[in-house]
Chains A and B, each alone.
Chain A
Amino acid sequence: MNLSEVEISDEEILNSYQKYVGRKAIFIVSSILVLVLAAGLAGSMGQAKITIWDGYAAFLAKFFPNYFSSSWLAETTIWNLRLPRIALGIVTGIGLGIAGCIMQGILKNPLASPYTLGISAGASFGASLAIIGGAGLVGGDYLIIGNAFVFSLLVSLIIIGFAARRGATPETMVLVGIAILYIFSAATTLLQYFGEETAVVQAVFWSVGSLDRASWSKVFISGAVVALSVPLLMMKSWDMNLLTSGDDSARSLGVNVNRIRIYTMAIISLMVSSIVCFTGTIGFIGLVAPHITRLVIGTDYRYLIPASGIVGAILVVGSDVISRNVIPPVIIPVGVITAFMGGPLFLYLIMRRRMGYF
């Protein structure tokens, strides 16, 4: 065979790369469009006696008061009830999706997520301590939120602490995370065992993730933390790509593997804590959104990170539409729907796609 026959021209390489990038860009752009549609659907559906047009008029009247007018009911429904839910759903989905994506990458474990590493268990313990024991590090109205935040962060700090001392290997971090998950779950169970019935019900309810507590102030706080965290994580996407070829290869290419694990874990912890302290445990998003995305666009973290976030947001907002409209006026906690919806979807994708994609 003549060597020149297998030579690939620069133009072909460029075309091939553009195609590679184009596919991913198309996925991201279409995901954004789906998210906009899901948000539009979430904004249009509900039990308030307003038409879809009333809803959109109330939305637009805020920006163009001279051109659109709305009723009290439409304005309250859209601006006070539906939009904060949608916005918190988007922030939650983005945060949890990205957190899961990076955790699975740095820990080289397809089961890694904020839930499986005990961060949510820490938040649940903190909330239970506030609700059942009335004790916390922050007082007043922020007792539950503050406790959930502090304890979820504490879990991450323990994992990071162990990683710093014993070497930030994926095995160490996963095993410590699982140990912490069991310890905090047991502590929560103990609190609930001795708690008052109504307080226990409230604590259990808190731990089932929900967007019912959404408000603009919560959206701004979580949103700001997520908005600051995502670029800091994106900056490490090249290093994450190198990590996929193994710790030794990454090291040989100049990546400080331990530092990258601790750095990303610290940012993820802050981001996840700022979400779960408001929503409770919305399971499955951190696990399933990165897998769905990875199955479609592969493991290039430059695209995988933002796409996982968008897919996570679609899952949360879509689940919320179902949770509010499946048996009205009852609202099923969104955490239940995400698990019901995400599980079978995940199984379907695994069946349809190639094995060993991770």
Chain B
Amino acid sequence: MTKQTNIALALIAAVFFGAAFSACAVSYTLQIFGNANMDEIIDDADISYLEKVIKGEADKTKFSDANNDGTVDEKDIDQVQKIIDGTEEILVVFDDTARSVEIPEPVKSFVYHGHNSYVYETVRAIGASDKIIGITDRFVTPGGNRYSKTYFPELLSNVESVGELQTVNYEVVNNLNPDVVLTDAREYYDHTKTPDTPVIALDVNITNSKEAAMRYGYIFGKVPEAKEYVDWSTEIENMISEKIKDIPESERPLAYFSNYNLDRTKFSVPGTDSYRAVMIKNAGGRYMGDEIKGTGSQSVDAEWVIARNPDVIFFSAGNSVLGYDIYSPKNATEAIEEFLARPEFSNVEAVKNKQVYMISHPYILCGGASGLIGTLYYAKWLYPDLFKDIDVQEVHQEFVSKFQHLDLDVKKCISAYPLPE
């Protein structure tokens, strides 16, 4: 059997289990006005629910008032029908700042006030990236945190810089006059400076990526595409959880995660609620940073690591070490070899068994959209036997080719090192 067949069979199995799982519970509530029954989609069931609300047979919900006019009536049923048909003139979206944002539809252009890349990855995954006309400087200026000739080539032509993340040049945004501004760094965007443009604060992270993808699907009129992408993600997610479900907690490898560069003596460990912790736990690892509360990171020293004796060590590295623009493993190899040779760690299980890996940090395999692929890398590193039928690079390639629409060979780039066997 070829690797492709293996993965196909694994995914079919995952779909089966996934369907069983999804039948049990609704995993999220689509945060769009019109989703009256608070499920994952706007459909005829919402119209039925609204009819009951109007007759007094059901309770009004947070998103019953589809047109956001303050009352639930026949007009809301019309609005829901228009959303289902894709003919709505406005869409009311509930955003991360708990604001109800009215967006004129259809959205033909947008500016991305972007901190990380996950929102743009999601928008690209659902086929709406051609509508971008402006983005923060870090994506388009060489040396920027998110600059990548390989991963974001389309941003380097015809997409205007709107200034730095923290000091947006609102004059440029007003020049561009987009239909909507998307932001994942709401603390730095003052929507009163672009008063006639709706601003949606809607980040994509490891826990909300599916709901966010669906919300973006409705915003850009790409609901089928968003659904396809969400289904694909769910299949992989279910496949991973199915494979690790029977491993008792005590037998799961203790995984340590930190940032690392050459000659580091202090390590920054993300807290128990950080996306890294979630990814490692989703991949079947016991997370060593669980004692650090919250989503922030804490600096620890070598003694802290040695005392806890992790089975596996994951390091994240920046653009100069790993990423889609890196074609040589030289820097990653050097960093790992330097760490393995450090005498103070020589008795640590992960070092003795050479279970030390490195994964890209700044914009891939770490957060929202491609975080799932990162989770698969972790799972494969943690359980090489259990995941031997899965070619993680095949799945990674599918994400890049099918959903990111890029002519990019992931096997040529060094985004995780050393690769799982």
A→B interface (CB under 8 Å): 46-49, 72-73, 76-77, 80-81, 193-199, 201-202, 205, 210, 212-213, 215, 324, 328-333
Contacts and interface: CB of A to CB of B under 8 A. Distances in A.
Given A197-B296, A329-B162, A330-B164, A215 B170 contact: no
Given A77-B171, A81-B171, A194-B296, 5 more contacts: A76-B196, A205-B188, A212-B168, A324-B169, A331-B169
Contacts of B172: 47-48, 329
B187 A202 contact: yes
A75 B216 CA distance: 32
Contacts of A328: 169
A28 B185 CA distance: 44
A328 B170 CA distance: 12
Contacts of A197: 296-297
5 contacts: A76-B196, A81-B170, A194-B296, A196-B297, A329-B161
A208 to B, nearest CB: 9
B102 interface: no
Contacts of B194: 76
Contacts of A76: 174, 194-196
A205 B174 contact: no
B298 A194 contact: yes
Contacts of B168: 212, 331
Contacts of B196: 72, 76
Interface of B: 115, 137, 160-164, 166-172, 174-175, 177, 185, 187-188, 190, 192-196, 294-299
A61 to B, nearest CB: 17
B31 to A, nearest CB: 22
A150 B295 CA distance: 28
Contacts of B185: 198
Contacts of A198: 115, 185
B192 A48 contact: no
B175 A48 contact: yes
Given A205-B166, A331-B163, A215 B192 contact: yes
A73 B294 CA distance: 43
Contacts of B162: 329
Nearest to B170: A81
Nearest to A82: B171
A80 B167 contact: no
A281 to B, nearest CB: 15
Given A196-B295, A202-B187, A329-B172, A210 B193 contact: no
B171 A80 contact: no
B193 A329 contact: no
B296 A213 contact: no
A333 B166 CA distance: 9
Given A196-B297, A330-B163, A331-B164, A213 B170 contact: no
Contact of B195 (A80, A194, A196): A80
Contacts of B193: 80-81
A329 B137 contact: yes
Nearest 7 interchain pairs by C-beta: A196-B296, A329-B169, A48-B171, A331-B167, A47-B171, A329-B163, A329-B172
A197 B274 CA distance: 11
Contacts of A215: 190, 192
A292 B188 CA distance: 35
B340 to A, nearest CB: 27
A193 B266 CA distance: 13
A80 B295 CA distance: 36
A213 B297 CA distance: 28
B175 A49 contact: yes
A196 B167 CA distance: 20
A44 B172 CA distance: 15
A270 to B, nearest CB: 26
A316 to B, nearest CB: 16
A333 B175 contact: no
Contacts of B160: 329
B266 to A, nearest CB: 11
A330 B298 contact: no
B134 to A, nearest CB: 9
Contact of B174 (A77, A199, A201): A77
A72 B196 CA distance: 10
Contacts of A332: 167
A196 B271 CA distance: 9
A73 B172 CA distance: 10
B171 A46 contact: yes
